Amino acid sequence: MSDSMINASLRQLSAALAEKKISSVELTTLFLDRIAQLNPSLNAFIATDREKSLAQARAADAAPQPCGALHGIPLAHKDIFCTEGWRTSCGSKMLENFIAPYDATVVEKFKAAGMVTLGKLNMDEFAMGSSNETSYFGAVKNPWDVSRVPGGSSGGSAAAISARLAPAATGTDTGGSIRQPAALCGLTGLKPTYGVVSRYGMIAFASSLDQAGPMAKSAEDCALLLNAMAGFDPRDSTSLERPAEDYARDLNQPLAGLRIGLPGEFFGAGMDDDVRATVEVALDEYRKLGAVTVDISLPNSGLSVPAYYVIAPAEASSNLSRFDGVRYGYRAPEYGDLNDMYAKTRAQGFGAEVKRRILIGTYVLSHGYYDAYYLKAQKIRRLIAVDFSDAFKKCDVIMGPASPSVAFAFGAKSADPVQMYLSDIYTISTNLAGLPGMSIPCGFGNNNMPVGLQIIGNWFDEARMLNVAHQYQQMTDWHTQMPEGMR
Amino acid sequence: MSLNSQDVSRIARLARVELSAAENAATCDQLNAILGFIAQLQAVDTDGIEPMAHAVDVVQRLRPDVVSETDRRDAFQAVAPDVEAGLYLVPRVIE
């Protein structure tokens, strides 16, 4: 029973709940028990509250039938989402004692759908990192090999699903923070088009790039989760007013004639051989499904990482100015005047990578440098976006690796910020362009570590991407595999 | 061009982040490595290119100028480091 439940799809869980084969309380207890048993070795969850979760589950069990597709199913939230009554730390000492007084829109929507909150998930501090090593609460371990990183910044989300501590989780993606950990932990993650999911109550990192999305075992699960997450929100000034969609509507469409664009820039030097070989086999599977591959070019994609490391820190330095020890969060115990209180509070409350990005951002926005850095990067951002719109004249989706390597060992890149930044070399360009991107598991590389295939869609083409991923997952079973040590 | 320790002190002051002398030296090297990395942007010809602030070009929405939030001052101040009588307390700024 429990083995089938921890590996079940959301549709299967929903059916089991509707048929009363299991109650939400039993299902929630099953996952809470797994968290209690396995989390100490993974550090994926940084907060659980059995009573709160079970109260939600009891309410779900008591609700009159029929219920929605996600009703009674537990999920966990990345600790970047304000969750009323829960500690919401964003992985930082700065917010170690912050109990959110309200719900993020995403949290509110999942509550309204009847989902049960299992807890809060570890992450790189303020979502700044690609390995989860910057969390104030300690790094998350990769369930496939606990000596390796889970990726970041949604590393807790990825590890939790991979180890079957939760059937689904929320993530956020500013430069690859859903797709890269999904790839490194062997699961399915989707970053929607910018503006599709509300940013309200999601602690801001780089506002023009941040986007929340679902992380789960399969594309079908992600489609159901996105149905609940997406939608216009007047409380987010960049939320888009669009008609509601059923993102699962095209899952079963055949792929015959699908044009897959392969950017030369994503298959050049810099990608490890094991990742390349695994991705090539996945592309052959797509050809068997009737898709055709087309060579395309994204000539400015090499500029995406440097452009990102102007734009994201600039926006972060502005957003993180709110953490000043006055209205919420940490305040230094000893200080002199007001400026000294700010400076000591921020020196003690932020970790090294966060401070580094605040300083870079402050510099590139400072008097006399704005045009040379921020404005220049925004122009290059336009060039990158135009490359994509040109490419989508020749293809329906774009594919490539999600990460240049499989999960690396702890400490392998943490001493060199620029090397760490390059972990996101294949994911950052879609954030700059605002495009939707996803990663699906497509096999295993060196040391039996998971490899992710990235699927990039045209703006607002999430339903097609989910179809493309789902059809592959009907042919393969990579997405159903779980790490041996986590049984 | 690269930053020296005085530049780093100035940036840290603007950012309201205290840095010790040892941190200043290490930060200076790291910031210069990052700035060296992003310097490649300068070589790109961007004449006539419109800067892109947001991924999807939409016009900022306006809303009617009416009260839309309820008063939750107590709940919001419950998470503050130091409050009194509904006010946030900070070190004295006017002598």
Task: Choose the mutation target among A90, A317, A359 for the interface with B, i.e. most B CBs under 10 Å.
Answer: A359
Q: Which residues of B touch A201 (CB under 8 A)?
A: none
* Domain map (residue ranges) of chain A: 2-258+394-486
Is A475 near chain B, with CB under 8 Å? no
CATH of residue B35: 1.10.20
Closest residue to A309, CB basis, from B38, B42, B72: B38
CB A27 within 8 A of CB A88: no
Say if B39 falls within a structural domain.
yes
Average pLDDT, chain B: 92
Unique residue bearing structure tokens 């060039």: A383
Q: Provide, as residue numbers in chain B, all residues whose Cβ is less than 8 Å from the Cβ of A340.
A: 18, 91
* Residue B21 resides in a domain: yes
Section A329-349 average pLDDT: 97
Asked if residue B50 is part of any domain, the answer here is: no
Cα A167 from Cα A55, distance rounded (Å): 19
The reply to whether B25 falls in a domain is: yes
Q: Is it the case that residue B58 has pLDDT exceeding 90?
A: no
pLDDT tens digits along A276-324: 999 999 999 999 999 999 999 999 999 999 999 999 999 999 999 999 9
Instruction: Give the tens place of pLDDT for each residue, A237-246.
Output: 999 999 999 9
- Determine the structural domain holding residue B10 and report its residue range: 5-43
Taking an 8 Å cut-off on Cβ atoms, the answer to whether A338 and B93 are in contact is: yes
Average pLDDT of the residues of chain A = 96
A409 CB neighbour count, 10 Å cutoff: 13
DSSP states along A351-405: -HHHHHHHHHHHHHHSTTTTIIIIIHHHHHHHHHHHHHHHHTTT-SEEEEESSSS
Give the pLDDT score at A269: 87
Residue contact A237–B3, C-beta within 8 A: no
Q: Does A436 touch chain B (CB under 8 A)?
A: no
Q: Would you say residue A2 has pLDDT above 80? A: no
Instruction: For B62, name the nearest residue in chain A, comparing CA atoms only.
Output: A237
Task: Identify the bridge partners of residue A295 per DSSP, sorted by sequence position.
Answer: A262
User: For residue A456, what is the enclosing H or E element?
Assistant: strand A450-457
* A106 contacts A212 by C-beta, under 8 angstroms: yes
**Whole-number pLDDT of residue B1:** 64
Tens-place pLDDT, residues A202-214: 999 999 999 999 9
Is A199's Cβ below 8 Å from some Cβ in B?
no
Structure tokens at A323: 């953490």
Distance between alpha carbon A42 and the CA centroid of its chain, in Å?
Answer: 18
- Contact flag B90-A98 (C-beta cutoff 8 Å): no
CA of A329: how far to CAs of A48, A79, A355, B85, in Å?
20, 15, 16, 19
Flag whether B36 is in a domain: yes
Strands, sheet with A450-457, edge to edge from the N-terminal-most edge strand: A45-47, A116-121, A74-78, A168-173, A211-216, A188-191, A437-444, A450-457, A397-401, A259-263, A292-296
Instruction: Respond yes or no on whether ipTM tops 0.85.
Output: yes
For residue A321, the cross-strand partners are none
* Beta carbons of B16 and A324 less than 8 angstroms apart: yes
Its CATH architecture, for the domain A2-258+394-486, is Alpha-Beta Complex (3.90)
Q: Do A195 and B58 touch (CB under 8 A)?
A: yes
Is residue B83, in this structure, part of any structural domain at all?
no
pLDDT at A291: 98
Answer yes or no: is B29 within a domain: yes
Tally the domains of chain B. 1
For residue A415, pLDDT beyond 90: no
Q: What is the C-alpha separation between A2 and A27, in angstroms, rounded?
A: 9
3-class secondary structure per residue, A107-138: HHHHHHCCCEEEEEECCCHHHCCCCCCCCCCC
Residue at A154: amino acid letter: S
Put simply, the chain A residues between 278 and 307 with a CB less than 8 A from any chain B CB are 300, 303, 305-307
Is B62 contained in some domain? no
Above 60 in pLDDT, residue A1?
Answer: no
pLDDT band at A65 (very low <50, low <70, confident <90, very high): confident
Per-residue pLDDT of A447-465, as tens digits, reads 999 999 999 999 999 999 9
* A376 at interface of B, judged by CB pairs closer than 8 A: yes
